[in-house]
Structures are given as structure tokens and as C-alpha cells.
């Protein structure tokens, strides 16, 4: 019986250690036990050694000797790392990009249909864009839901 319990504990430890460095979104405004909010903060390299061994200084070197930074994902959309595919050339793993926005003067075509299967694309000057709302806003973004980005550290309050 004791061997079975020890095996179960070992399995649980192995599963939890596989999660260290895993980023997920939480449906509450505070991080669950063992997780911290991905807010760019500096963490102790000693206390959070398992996490430091995985992400190192990818997101910042902290104070340069005793701390390291975690990613700051607040208000950000995540994009899969290109890893040489050629879709997002020149990106570094963990790197961030500034956003771009569309303005009214950047829309140069409109779509016209005669109600049949005949469609025409025509140059269009001025007027309103019909593909979105508030085209002169400060950002162009898809609809979205705000959740809390957290990273699993493996460090629990009871430890």
C-alpha cells in the first residue's frame, strides 16, 4: 500500500514539474496557488529556481544576479513563435512587437456585387469604411475577452 502511495506522489510531482513555465489564462482576477500573474515582475532565482531553469532571462535579467523577469502579457495578444517558418521573419523567441492600426486613408478598395456571382473590386476614394467600427481609433484589434495571464511556478504557499 505504501509503495502505491509513494508512486502516486511521485507521479503527481512529475506532472507538476512538467507544468513549470506553462502559461494559461485564469477566469479570476487573482492567480491560483502555484501560479503568478504574467506582469513582468522580477522573481527570486532561488525561490523560483525550477521556473528560472526553464525560462532563464528570456524576459529580462531582473537585477542581474538574484532575480529574473517573467513575461508581461497584460493586455497582449499571443502569437505563435515562427521558428524559421517565414511568416514572421526576424522575430526572437519571447520578443514583443508594437501594434499597427488602420486609418481611413489606408483603405483603397471596395467590393461590389451585382447580386449574382459577379463581383468587382474597385478603387475607392474617401468615404466610410464598411468593414469595421471606429476606423480612426487608437488601435485595430479583434473582439476579445480579458482573462488573467498566469505562469505556473511550482512554488505553492504551503511550501
Indicate whether 148 and 127 sit together in one domain.
no
> What's the pLDDT at 62?
98
For 138, the grid coordinates are: 487608437
Indicate whether 135 and 148 sit together in one domain.
no
Say how many domains are in the chain.
Answer: 2
Task: Domain of residue 11: give its range.
Answer: 2-77+144-152
Indicate whether 7 and 71 sit together in one domain.
yes
d(CA 87, CA 107): 23
Indicate whether 72 and 104 sit together in one domain.
no
> What's the pLDDT at 129?
47
DSSP per residue, the chain? -HHHHHHHHHHHHHHHHHHTT-EEEESSSSPPTTEEE-B--EEETTTTHHHHHHHTTTT--TTSSSEEEPPB-TT-------TTSSSSTTPPTT---------GGG--EEEEE-SSS-EEEEE--SS--SSSS-TTSS---------EEEEE-S--TT-
> What's the pLDDT at 122?
55
> What's the pLDDT at 53?
97
> What's the pLDDT at 109?
55
> 25 with 148: CB under 8 angstroms?
yes
Indicate whether 134 and 148 sit together in one domain.
no
Task: For the chain, 159 residues long, give each residue's pLDDT as a single digit of tens.
Answer: 677 677 776 776 767 678 999 999 999 999 999 999 999 999 999 999 999 999 999 999 999 999 999 999 999 888 888 888 888 788 888 887 777 666 555 445 555 566 666 555 555 555 544 454 555 556 667 788 899 999 999 888 865
Indicate whether 51 and 19 sit together in one domain.
yes
> What's the pLDDT at 83?
83
Amino acid at each position: 500500500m505504501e509503495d502505491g502511495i509513494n508512486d502516486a506522489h511521485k507521479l503527481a510531482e512529475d506532472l507538476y514539474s512538467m507544468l513549470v513555465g506553462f502559461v494559461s489564462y485564469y477566469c479570476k482576477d487573482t492567480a491560483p496557488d502555484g501560479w503568478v500573474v504574467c506582469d513582468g515582475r522580477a522573481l527570486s532565482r532561488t525561490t523560483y529556481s525550477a521556473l528560472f531553469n526553464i525560462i532563464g532571462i528570456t524576459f529580462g535579467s531582473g537585477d542581474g544576479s538574484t532575480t529574473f523577469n517573467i513575461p508581461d502579457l497584460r493586455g497582449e495578444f499571443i502569437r505563435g513563435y515562427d521558428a524559421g517558418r517565414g511568416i514572421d521573419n526576424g522575430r526572437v523567441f519571447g520578443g514583443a512587437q508594437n501594434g499597427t492600426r488602420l486609418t481611413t486613408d489606408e483603405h483603397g478598395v471596395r467590393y461590389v456585387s451585382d447580386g449574382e456571382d459577379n463581383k468587382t473590386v474597385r478603387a475607392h476614394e474617401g468615404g466610410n469604411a464598411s468593414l469595421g467600427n471606429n476606423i480612426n481609433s487608437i488601435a485595430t484589434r479583434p473582439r476579445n475577452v480579458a482573462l488573467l495571464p498566469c505562469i505556473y511556478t511550482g512554488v505553492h504557499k504551503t511550501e
